[in-house]
Amino acid sequence: MHERILIIIPAYNEEKNIGKVIQSLYDAEPDYQCLVVNDGSRDNTQHEAEASGLATVIQLPSNLGIGGAVQTGFKYGFYNNFDYAIQFDGDGQHLASEIPKLLDPLRTNEFDVCIGSRFVEKTLGFQSTFMRRIGIRIFEFMSRLLIRKKITDSTSGFRAYNKQAIAFLAANYPTDYPEPETVILLGKNDFRIREVSVEMIERQGGESSISGLKSAHYMIKVILAMLMTAQRQKIRRT
């Protein structure tokens, strides 16, 4: 049976990167269905995505943040009955050639979610900044503590989900600090999570929204969000 694979690309002010990202996905696999969720960008992200002719583009009326943008993608994937969804950044850091690594563990039905990690194995790719790596190690400790699972790259936005995870996250995706929170939410609700080693490269243009003093503030708030998510009751899965 032919697999239906959705690539969810949240994008905010990525006019310099989005066209190349979409083209790289098409070059890797023309059957991927790309969905760009333009999160209220103030630049020409929407125009560049539409000009590619290779993606469906949803324009959000205002900036909802990464959580709202990605959940829009999950809702689209759920209502259109996709078999798998891949979360893929619009800044050029992720490599389309690495997607099969994330899909393979799901295809055997051993796992529900697969996270692309820079830290499972030593790679030649971009490893993030020193301060961010410290934060990522703290989040690894939190995942061990809260869901008894080692997740080495909780902030990775390169992830694959099966149909059950798509349905769950379409209704329950965190909005504030979604990548680390989602790890705890999925683990708390008995989803099977695996990490695989992938290479990433530095963003190909624009600037990260989290830098400098914002990094420390972000880390504190993420830890609190992870703790709160761990305290929630299990959510009944449909």
- Residue 199 pLDDT > 60, yes or no? yes
Q: What is the residue whose two structure tokens read 């290779």?
A: 54
Chain centroid to Cα 185, Å, comes to 14
pLDDT, tens digit, 9 for 90 and up, residues 46-77: 999 999 999 999 999 999 999 999 999 999 99
Do residues 36 and 52 lie in contact, with contact meaning Cβ atoms separated by under 8 Å? no
Of 128 and 147, the structure prediction assigns the larger pLDDT to 147
Do residues 33 and 6 lie in contact, with contact meaning Cβ atoms separated by under 8 Å? yes
Query: In what side-by-side order are the strands of the sheet with 113-117?
Result: 55-59, 33-38, 5-11, 84-87, 159-162, 113-117, 193-197
- Residue 229 pLDDT > 80, yes or no? yes
List of domains in the chain: 5-231 (3.90.550.10)
pTM (two decimals): 0.90
- Residue 88 pLDDT > 80, yes or no? yes
Dihedral (CA of 90, 94, 100, 102) sign: negative
Q: Read off the tokens for 2.
A: 């032919």
Instruction: Pick the range with the lowest mean pLDDT from 36-40, 156-160, 214-218, 233-237.
Output: 214-218
pLDDT, tens digit, 9 for 90 and up, residues 93-127: 999 999 999 999 999 999 999 999 999 877 665 55
